[in-house]
């Protein structure tokens, strides 16, 4: 099969759908975290907002994967966005009625996260189904760049807007972004797979070659999920509690992190194919480890390190995602990713709780040490194991992985 050199319609629409959804979600999450922190003045109370996002995904990702392997994945994504738009719109409506803000935010966040568990699994399985294997590397970089752009815009705009307007009006923005994302999923259209021919039929591969050491690949990707979740707390701790800056500064600093993640995607695409994804991921994790160690110990200038930290994280995230996608089978992508995502989110909850309790009971700067210990314990050993296994990455994929027709 001749490698696809240009993206098809599905690939072109998945990227803006991701950007739009990420933009709205992060504006809402920033507003919710700042609102709760302002009311309770506790790192743990703020952490509960992020935990409310993670727990349903940890519990529901595995059954969501089962659904994603048995029903139309595009239809599931479209339905999830429409339901989420309704839930997001309910937050400003109920706050306008005078209900207490924290219970409303926690309840709505739990509902949105439950739907997100199905959406995340179904959309990942849809990527495996629709994106040509020869384009996974470039698509993965573009996907994470879209996520980073969403983070960059949402946190920069959200932090400043919270300072100017307060958090309540921003909750309505998320409902609009979900509706916009739903339009993209609708326009992708149904998949009409051609009948296999001698030129397009998938070539059989041994099970180990196709799937590889999936548990270790999931561990590497799961580590990026843990870092992302814990960092949501750490960035607020550093800016608001340690250096006593206003929400507008939080938006700018968080925007630096998003800009760094965006640059990480560009760097990934520019690296020579001779540098494999395991090495790229490890370099990213080690760079991030250096940033975590420096940030709380060098004064306010540590806030600027979110830029190189974002670059390191972006590089590790893209490489880890692409390694995982390369070894997922299309027919079981939902189930396998659902299990991996569930474990990653569950571990992320545990680390987020540990980070928050450390900040409340000991000192905020020691919360960074907790995350550093987790990275040191997982990244080097897992990467070394994968290097010994000589796993395939997107640069070595030359034939399509089996796909299920009819979706």
Q: How would DSSP label each residue in 131-186? A: S-GGGHHHHHHHHHHHHHHHHHHHHHHHHHHHHHH-SGGGHHHHHHHHHHHHHHHH
Q: Is residue 167 over pLDDT 80?
A: no
| pLDDT average, residue stretch 24-29 | 68
Q: Give the 3-state secondary structure of residue 406.
A: coil
Q: Is residue 215 over pLDDT 50?
A: yes
Q: Is residue 74 over pLDDT 70?
A: yes
Neighbours of 189 (CB within 10 A): 11
The pLDDT of residue 406: 35
Encode pLDDT of 296-346 as tens digits.
777 777 778 888 888 898 888 888 888 888 888 777 888 888 888 888 888
Q: Is residue 141 over pLDDT 70?
A: yes
Between 44 and 312, the higher pLDDT residue = 312
198: which DSSP letter?
T
Tokens of 170: 């921003």
Encode pLDDT of 152-163 as tens digits.
666 566 666 666
Between 8-12, 114-118, 303-307, the lowest mean confidence (pLDDT) is in 8-12
Neighbours of 388 (CB within 10 A): 10
CA 48/CA 402 separation, integer angstroms: 41
385 with 237: CB under 8 angstroms?
A: no
125 with 336: CB under 8 angstroms?
A: no
Q: What percent of the chain has pLDDT over 90?
A: 2
CA 213/CA 38 separation, integer angstroms: 45
Q: Is residue 139 over pLDDT 50?
A: yes
CA proximity to 106, closest of 47, 23, 156, 164: 47
Tokens of 342: 């569930």
Domain ranges of the chain: 9-192+212-395
Q: Is residue 350 over pLDDT 70?
A: yes
Write the class of the CATH domain 9-192+212-395.
mainly alpha
CA proximity to 260, closest of 327, 306, 208: 306
Diameter of the chain by CA atoms?
A: 65
The pLDDT of residue 285: 92
Encode pLDDT of 179-203 as tens digits.
888 888 888 887 655 444 444 444 4
CA 290/CA 285 separation, integer angstroms: 9
39 with 218: CB under 8 angstroms?
A: no
> Mean pLDDT in the chain?
75
Tokens of 98: 């005078």
CA proximity to 311, closest of 270, 257, 275, 272: 257
């Amino acid at each position: 099969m001749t490698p696809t050199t240009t993206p098809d319609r599905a690939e072109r629409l998945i990227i803006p759908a991701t950007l739009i959804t990420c933009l709205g979600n992060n504006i809402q999450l920033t507003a919710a975290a700042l609102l709760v922190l302002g009311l309770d003045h506790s790192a743990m109370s703020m952490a509960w907002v992020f935990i409310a996002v993670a727990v349903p995904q940890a519990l529901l990702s595995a059954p969501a994967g089962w659904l994603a392997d048995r029903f139309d994945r595009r239809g599931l994504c479209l339905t999830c966005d429409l339901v989420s738009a309704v839930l997001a719109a309910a937050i400003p409506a109920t706050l306008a009625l005078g209900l207490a803000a924290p219970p409303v935010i926690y309840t709505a966040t739990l509902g949105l996260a439950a739907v997100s568990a199905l959406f995340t699994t179904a959309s990942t399985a849809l990527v495996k189904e629709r994106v040509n294997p020869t384009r996974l590397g470039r698509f993965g970089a573009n996907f994470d760049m879209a996520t980073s752009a969403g983070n960059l815009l949402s946190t920069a705009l959200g932090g400043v807007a919270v300072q100017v307007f307060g958090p309540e009006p921003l909750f309505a923005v998320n409902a609009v972004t979900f509706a916009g994302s739903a339009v993209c999923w609708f326009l992708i259209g149904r998949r009409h797979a051609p009948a296999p021919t001698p030129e397009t039929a998938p070539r059989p591969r041994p099970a180990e070659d196709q799937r590889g050491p999936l548990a270790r690949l999931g561990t590497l990707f799961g580590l990026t999920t843990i870092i992302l979740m814990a960092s949501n707390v750490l960035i607020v701790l550093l800016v608001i509690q340690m250096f006593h800056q206003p929400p507008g500064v939080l938006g700018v600093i968080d925007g630096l992190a998003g800009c760094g993640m965006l640059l990480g995607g560009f760097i990934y695409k520019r690296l020579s194919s001779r540098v494999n994804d395991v090495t790229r991921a490890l370099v990213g994790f080690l760079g991030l480890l250096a940033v975590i160690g420096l940030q709380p110990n060098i004064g306010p200038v540590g806030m600027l390190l979110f830029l190189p930290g974002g670059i390191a994280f972006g590089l590790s995230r893209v490489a880890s995602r692409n390694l995982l996608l390369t070894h997922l089978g299309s027919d079981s992508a939902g189930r396998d990713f659902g299990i991996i995502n569930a474990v990653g989110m569950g571990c992320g909850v545990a680390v987020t709780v540990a980070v928050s309790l450390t900040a409340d009971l000991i000192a905020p700067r020691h919360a960074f040490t907790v995350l550093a210990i987790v990275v040191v314990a997982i990244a080097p050993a897992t990467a070394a194991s994968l290097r010994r296994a000589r796993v395939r990455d997107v640069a070595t994929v030359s034939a399509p992985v089996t796909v299920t027709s009819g979706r």
